[in-house]
Chain A
């Protein structure tokens, strides 16, 4: 089955700097890659996703890139702000075959220092 690895496990950046979180996946049939943000004591919230027919997607200060050949995808946050501090999870699924049954990475704790 699918296995998703996420790095780093913790990331500290200065406010205004960029943050990059990377994930690799094992199943070449996976074609849907969402990212979730979980603030302390809250539920995971979908912040951006990408499907395998595109290589990059942007939404304001966040972007996701996908390299299908290397089987990895990354989350990029620019101009970080204190409110970006949270745990971020990547996930992967073969959306066509399994609907939205996701396999998650272990998470990255992002701390933005002001």
Chain B
């Protein structure tokens, strides 16, 4: 779904580095989400935002922060990356019809 884009698509970084993952959408949805996917664990919610002024922690928010710069943009930051944050990260948006995912960012922390 090209309406939800993520940058970068792949990133390798070192332990202790700060990194930002960006998400943009042209769907006009107010609600945006960040998930991480690990093998055998499904998709786990990191943070979600129901509008520009609303930010909420998900089930695994420790070590992460987010910024909702505009309705269309929702960024995820790792202030000091650690190896167990190596995962596939998905941004998503939603309306009353469902939730729609971006293409994902594969992050490796060495």
Q: Which A positions have Cβ atoms within 8 angstroms of B?
A: 1, 6, 9, 34, 42-46, 49, 89, 99-107
Q: List 26 A-B contacts (CB under 8 A).
A: A1-B59, A6-B42, A34-B98, A42-B103, A43-B1, A43-B90, A43-B101, A43-B103, A43-B104, A44-B90, A44-B101, A45-B1, A99-B31, A99-B50, A100-B94, A100-B96, A100-B99, A101-B33, A101-B48, A103-B45, A104-B42, A104-B43, A104-B44, A106-B40, A106-B41, A107-B42
Closest to B44 in A: A104
Query: Taking the complex as formed, is B64 at the interface, i.e. its CB lies under 8 A from any CB of chain A?
Result: no
Chain B residue total in the interface (Cβ 8 A): 24
A residues in contact with B104, CB < 8 Å = 43
Q: Are A43 and B102 in contact (CB under 8 A)?
A: yes
